[in-house]
Structure 1
């Protein structure tokens, strides 16, 4: 029986590239798998991000990269007011078929608009699945790019956001959404 050495195990590990950038709502960590973004979270939620990456990839190695695929620059443009610049970022989310449907539907919500969990469920042809939509939304691995912050409660209240409600509020205001 052969036992793999550390270097052999390391060679078998998935290599992902990451970058960090300062933003008005805290430092952001983005992770890229090849030419696609596979994770975007805040540094104070890094343990959550790493857990989701481990669940998806098993063992992986993070290598720092300056502006991988130009994604860091696109995020800076978003924070400078170009809300459409994130639409073209390719994502690789993993997840179940239903989660992928929910995450894809997030991109149909324009900047400055919101949808309720129920409206998003109805859009997917599953009007009673609003709780499942909420659960999928909570596990969105690519925040901001897949704009889960645009999903609100049925009464338009700000509910749930893995990055914190203060960030959700800021993002919606940044995009021009008037909040009560």
Structure 2
């Protein structure tokens, strides 16, 4: 069950990255921290794998990603100027496209404290998104197996991200930890930040 949820969380993460990559690649790289871990009751425990290694409740290609709707939990940072994540039209559309509903645990000023508490207690969401997970935490919890390695999953399920990384090798250099593994995607944009004076 745990591997199934990790796999699903990885798939939704890839959808999020596709959305970010669709905004056009460039050279400004900042971390977007994503990890998966937590048992939820939304996936059948009797799921079996089909011959190509993909669990029978998933569609290997295209949308929706899952054959029956599921729910994942996400711990995310939200600024006071931003609407709630559940109200953002893009995420509502992703939910319709993928069949994956996200229950957002929105953090504001207490993001570091709550993230650290979740990591220390073992009470993980299915994924962290913009939760300011540090490189030190990525390697520490990655080695422990709390954060899954994305290396092989990127190779098999993220052709757009892989193509972007081939075009911009610094993308993987930024994402790869000292142990050679990738535990998190990075945000990659080609435009200068909007500044208001």
- TM more than 0.5: no
| Structure ranking higher on relative contact order (CA contacts 8 Å, 6+ apart) | 2
Q: TM-score, normalised by structure 1?
A: 0.29
TM-score by length of 2: 0.28
